[in-house]
Each structure stands twice: as structure tokens, then as C-alpha cells.
Structure 1
Amino acid sequence: MQTIEKLAQSTMDTNDFARVLGQKAQSIRKAYAQRGAVMGIRPVKLPNGKLRWPTDAVERLMKGNAA
């Protein structure tokens, strides 16, 4: 199990993920609710319900590689 500090360093919140993709955060949340992933990336769901998106997968996506 990951510690909170390590999780915070290796993931980004939905607002940051949306900003990187040029979308609204609510669009990201809706896509996740409908499909369970966004552009092939599955988030970590925290006990409080918030989503954390893996930074390494987002970086691969932005470089044009598959998530």
C-alpha cells in the first residue's frame, strides 16, 4: 500500500489532469463515471472519493505513447 506522501508525488488531482488535457474537470469526472478510465488512464480512488491520476501515465499520453 502506498503512503500518502508517495501517492501525492506520483499522481495528480482531477483539476490538474483536466488542465493538462485542455478539458474541464467535470468532463473528466463524467468520462471516468461512464467508462472507468479516461483516454486509457485509470485513476486511484481515495477513501474520500477523490480521484488521483498517475503522473507517469499522463506523461506517456502527452508524449503520444499509449497509456
Structure 2
Amino acid sequence: MNVTRPAKVAPADFVPLHLETRTHVSTGITAWHVSLQQQTLRAMACNESYDPRLKPVRHAGRLLWPVAGIKSILGVA
């Protein structure tokens, strides 16, 4: 039985990392860049098990992740 997965779709506010001008981005954007599920990032934030360069901030009940940390982890900073 062949099962096809739906194509991975970028979040609506996605900007390629090299063109990103925001200092922090949403969990969806971060998940896209680091190839993790959003829920994995949320669990990492709750357990404080993230890389220190990727420490999220909470704003209005949402997690925002630093673009500089994403670039650093991916080795493009």
C-alpha cells in the first residue's frame, strides 16, 4: 500500500532566512527553518531544553524565536 504525504507548505509569513529582517519569528517559521515540528519546539520551550542560542521569548502568549540564533545553529551567521 503506497501512502503519499502532503507536500510541505511554508507558513504564510515565510521569508527566506538570508532575506529575513525581523529579529524574532514565530514558531511556525522557526520549525520550517530547523526542520522540526512546531510542537517539538513548544515542548523544548516548556522544558527549557533548547540550544542557548535559540532561547525563545514570550510575547502576548506566543513564542518568538531569535533569527540570529536560527542562523547560528544552521551555520549561516
Same fold? TM cut 0.5:
yes
The residue that corresponds to 1:17 in the other structure is 30
Superposition map of 1:30-49 within 5 A: 30-35=43-48, 37-40=49-52, 41-46=54-59, 48-49=60-61
How many corresponding residue pairs? 56
* Structure with more helix by fraction: 1
List alignment gaps of at least 5 residues for structure 1: 1-7
For the pair shown, the structure with the greater C-alpha radius of gyration is 2
- Do the aligned partners of 2:28 and 2:38 also contact (CA within 8 Å) in 1? yes
CA distance in structure 2 between the partners assigned to 1:17 and 1:38 by the alignment = 12
Residues 11-67 of structure 1, C-alpha deviations (whole Å, 9 max, x = no match): 1100111111111101100111012x5222111110x210111101110110078xx
1:57 aligns with 2:69: yes
CA separation of 1:64 and 1:39: change in aligned 2, threshold 3 A = farther
1:28 aligns with 2:41: yes
CA separation of 1:24 and 1:12: change in aligned 2, threshold 3 A = same
- Do the aligned partners of 2:34 and 2:70 also contact (CA within 8 Å) in 1? no
List alignment gaps of at least 5 residues for structure 2: 1-20
